[in-house]
């Protein structure tokens, strides 16, 4: 953060205190209470009921599937992010801005629309879907479909954090390494990635959080079969509509804890990036 | 950019550069973007186009669809006003004042992005239900939130909170304190300084953040469907109508309405890019 304001420099103390009070109250209502109520509802009938509702085979399966989906989507998008950031930041070519806009497009697509796109592409009435079915491969209403659509919705996160930093750092260090005879992967591994590792990690944290929590897009392409194609967010909906409120909120506590750990990681990484590079990660989205 | 970098503008299609790996990295990028992003979007448009203009229009202009657009737009409008006001307050307090817990509050601003939307959905529903912590007191003064259009707007506001805060914060940080001091030394009151000096400087950022928030509200699904009553013509958002058409195996109708949502998202993207360009240009002219 460059040149922070001197604290409470100008307004009168009354104005300052009122605004801080209002901000704290509004944040408690808007952001604090939704988190608190997740735990309150989950533990409404005590710890044993909570533990029992978590220790349900369908819930455990949903957790497992969610982890598997994230474990595939995150590395794939890290690899894509590195390739795209390398091409865009280290070389000049026409229509670069257009390419960046297309890469960021998934952020602007509604999750439901993303799901419908994938259904239209891989569903059995589509050319690709029908062709795959000839070989006995079905993608829709299977975990594979969930993985594919999750990769779509999370694809911009890593690039978007790496790209501005890599553009700002220029090409000199890499060029020096190349002139000294370093090969491509060595330059990437020894020069570029160490310079952007916090940004890469920050992007990966955002990517993982979204992959774990995605609901709309996966609800379109999942068959919603318990114990088979339900991710944890989808399973919350199933439990909730079964009037199993404690079960739904118990599953929600797991996702909330992931979210809080992710936020903590984001905060720590942002502090490191500010200290190292004097810049804050891109924030919104 | 980097002035010392040697000239790499080549004459051919491939740029001359001492750095290796352009073809490989570019090949991966284009292949990935084509297969993961562009092809699925094209398939949606293609399927919707297969309907023919007349059927397409009949579906997307049907009364139930139109009612869902109007609800979505109206709720997104009020949600955006709420997040703009809240976002401005938070950005202001976080940038200008120091108080215990500031770091924690700052980090909490990202929580709506970090929290899965389904969790936000059931949490907000429990909170605003008639017997809930906030729904109870509100019901006593005659306002019901859960299962009404107000609930839709509240859920939209929650998920779009970070946009405004994170867009306005850096602009407030970079404001030149001398202009403000000059205004004060000329006798301006707190309100006059805000209204005449600060607000004009942050208006582009407020608009840019507000339009990002609005776009997010239009597409949101998970956080809303739990708290909305999901009654056709009353509390059914467009994203849910698409989902219902899918459950009825009416894929062409789902594709057609999805294309409308996609089209409006792309239109919003143009607006956002224009506003962000204004915001940036404004920041540059100030130096």
Distance of residue B89 Cα from the nearest chain A Cα, in angstroms: 6
Following CA atoms B124, B127, B131, B135 in sequence, which dihedral angle do they give, to the nearest 10 degrees? Answer: -90
Distance of residue A144 Cα from the nearest chain B Cα, in angstroms: 14
> For residue A3, how many other CB atoms are within 10 A of its CB?
10
Cβ atoms of A205 and A198 closer than 8 Å = no
pLDDT of residue A279: 58
- CB within 8 Å of chain B, chain A residues 57-76: none
Cβ atoms of A147 and A73 closer than 8 Å = yes
pLDDT of residue A278: 60
Name the closest residue on chain A to residue B116, using Cα atoms. Answer: A213
**Six token digits for residue A22:** 């209002």
Architecture of the CATH domain B52-286: Orthogonal Bundle (1.10)
B29, B179, B269, best to mutate vs chain A, most A CBs in 10 Å: B29
Which of A174, A260, A284 lies at the smallest CB-CB distance from B19? Answer: A174
Name the closest residue on chain B to residue A128, using Cα atoms. Answer: B43
Distance of residue A138 Cα from the nearest chain B Cα, in angstroms: 16
**Domain residue ranges in chain B:** 52-286
Distance of residue B145 Cα from the nearest chain A Cα, in angstroms: 14
Q: Does A116 touch chain B (CB under 8 A)?
A: yes
pLDDT of residue B275: 87
pLDDT of residue B190: 87
CA distance B270 to B108: 29
A75 Rama sector, left if φ>0, alpha if ψ -120 to 50, beta otherwise: alpha
Q: Spell out the per-residue pLDDT of chain B, length 287, in tens.
A: 344 444 444 444 455 678 888 999 999 999 999 999 999 999 999 999 999 999 999 999 999 999 999 999 999 999 999 999 999 999 999 999 999 999 999 999 999 999 999 999 999 999 999 999 999 999 999 999 999 999 999 999 999 999 999 999 999 998 888 888 888 889 888 899 999 999 999 999 999 999 999 999 999 999 999 999 888 999 999 999 999 999 999 999 999 999 999 999 999 999 998 888 888 887 777 64
Assess whether pLDDT exceeds 50 at residue A31: yes
- The CA angle A135-A141-A143, to the nearest 5 degrees, is 85
Cβ atoms of B242 and B65 closer than 8 Å = no
Closest CA to B249 of A103, A75, A140: A140
Distance of residue A76 Cα from the nearest chain B Cα, in angstroms: 10
Q: Which chain B positions have a beta carbon within 8 Å of A120's beta carbon?
A: 40, 43-44, 46-47, 251, 255
Q: Does A225 touch chain B (CB under 8 A)?
A: no
Q: What is the DSSP letter of B236?
A: -
Mean pLDDT, residues A112-121 taken together: 95
Which of A22, A86, A256 lies at the smallest CB-CB distance from B119? Answer: A256
Q: Which chain A positions have a beta carbon within 8 Å of B239's beta carbon?
A: 110-113, 216
pLDDT in tens, A257-285: 999 999 999 999 998 888 876 655 654 44
**Six token digits for residue B20:** 């290796």
Identify the weakest region by mean pLDDT among A8-12, A142-146, A261-265. A8-12
Q: Alpha helices of B6-116 — where are they, by DSSP H?
A: 22-32, 39-49, 53-60, 63-96, 102-108, 111-114
Name the closest residue on chain B to residue A269, using Cα atoms. Answer: B107
pLDDT of residue B8: 45
Q: Does B86 touch chain A (CB under 8 A)?
A: yes
Instruction: Give burial (CB, 10 Å; 0-12/13-18/19+) of A184.
Output: middle
Cβ atoms of A158 and A203 closer than 8 Å = yes
ipTM associated with this complex: 0.91
Mean pLDDT, residues A53-64 taken together: 94
Does A12 or A79 have the greater pLDDT score? A79
pLDDT of residue B38: 97
Assess whether pLDDT exceeds 70 at residue A4: no
Q: Do A35 and B115 touch (CB under 8 A)?
A: yes
């Amino acid at each position: 953060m460059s040149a922070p304001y001197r604290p409470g420099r100008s307004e009168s103390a009354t104005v300052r205190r009122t605004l801080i009070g209002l901000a704290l109250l509004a944040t408690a209502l808007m952001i604090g209470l939704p988190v608190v109520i997740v735990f309150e509802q989950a533990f409404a009938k005590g710890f044993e009921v909570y533990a029992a509702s978590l220790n349900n085979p369908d819930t455990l399966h949903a957790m497992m599937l969610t982890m598997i989906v994230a474990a595939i989507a995150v590395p794939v998008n890290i690899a894509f992010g590195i390739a795209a950031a390398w091409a865009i930041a280290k070389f000049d070519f026409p229509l670069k801005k257009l390419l960046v806009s297309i890469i960021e497009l998934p952020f602007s697509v509604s999750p439901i629309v993303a799901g419908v796109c994938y259904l239209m592409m891989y569903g059995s009435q589509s050319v690709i879907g029908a062709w795959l079915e000839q070989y006995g491969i079905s993608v829709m209403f299977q975990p594979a479909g969930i993985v594919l659509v999750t990769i779509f919705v999370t694809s911009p996160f890593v690039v978007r954090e790496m790209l501005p930093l890599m553009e700002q750092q220029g090409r000199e260090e890499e060029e020096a390494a190349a002139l000294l005879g370093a090969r491509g992967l060595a330059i990437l591994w020894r020069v570029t990635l160490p310079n952007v590792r916090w940004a890469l990690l920050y992007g990966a944290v955002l990517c993982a959080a979204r992959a774990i929590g995605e609901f709309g897009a996966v609800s379109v392409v999942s068959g919603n079969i318990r114990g088979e194609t339900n991710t944890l967010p989808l399973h919350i909906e199933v439990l909730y509509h079964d009037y199993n409120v404690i079960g739904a909120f118990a599953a929600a506590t797991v996702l909330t804890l992931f979210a809080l750990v992710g936020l903590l990681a984001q905060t720590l990484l942002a502090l490191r990036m500010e200290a190292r590079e004097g810049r804050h990660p891109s924030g919104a989205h | 950019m980097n002035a010392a970098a040697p000239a790499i503008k080549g004459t051919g299609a491939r740029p001359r550069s001492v750095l290796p790996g352009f073809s490989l990295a570019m090949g991966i990028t284009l292949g990935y973007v084509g297969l993961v992003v562009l092809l699925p979007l094209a398939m949606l448009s293609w399927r919707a186009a297969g309907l023919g203009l007349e059927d397409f229009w009949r579906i997307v202009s049907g009364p139930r669809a139109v009612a869902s657009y109007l609800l979505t737009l109206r709720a997104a409008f009020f949600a955006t006003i709420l997040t703009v006001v809240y976002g401005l307050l938070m950005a202001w307090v976080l940038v200008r004042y120091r108080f215990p817990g500031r770091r924690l509050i700052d980090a909490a601003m990202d929580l709506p992005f970090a929290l899965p939307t389904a969790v936000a959905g059931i949490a907000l529903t429990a909170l605003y239900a008639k017997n809930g912590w906030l729904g109870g007191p509100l019901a006593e003064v005659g306002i019901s939130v859960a299962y009404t259009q107000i609930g839709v707007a509240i859920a939209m506001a929650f998920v779009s909170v970070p946009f405004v805060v994170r867009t306005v914060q850096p602009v407030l940080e970079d404001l030149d304190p001398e202009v403000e001091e000059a205004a004060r030394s000329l006798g301006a009151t707190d309100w006059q300084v805000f209204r005449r000096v600060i607000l004009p400087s942050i208006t582009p950022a407020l608009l840019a953040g507000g339009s990002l928030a609005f776009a997010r509200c239009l597409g949101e699904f998970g956080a809303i469907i739990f708290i909305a009553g999901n009654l056709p013509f009353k509390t059914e958002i467009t994203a849910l109508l698409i989902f219902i058409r899918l459950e009825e195996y009416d894929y062409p109708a789902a594709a057609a309405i999805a294309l409308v949502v996609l089209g409006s998202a792309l239109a919003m993207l143009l607006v956002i890019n224009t506003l962000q360009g204004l915001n940036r240009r404004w920041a540059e002219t100030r130096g």
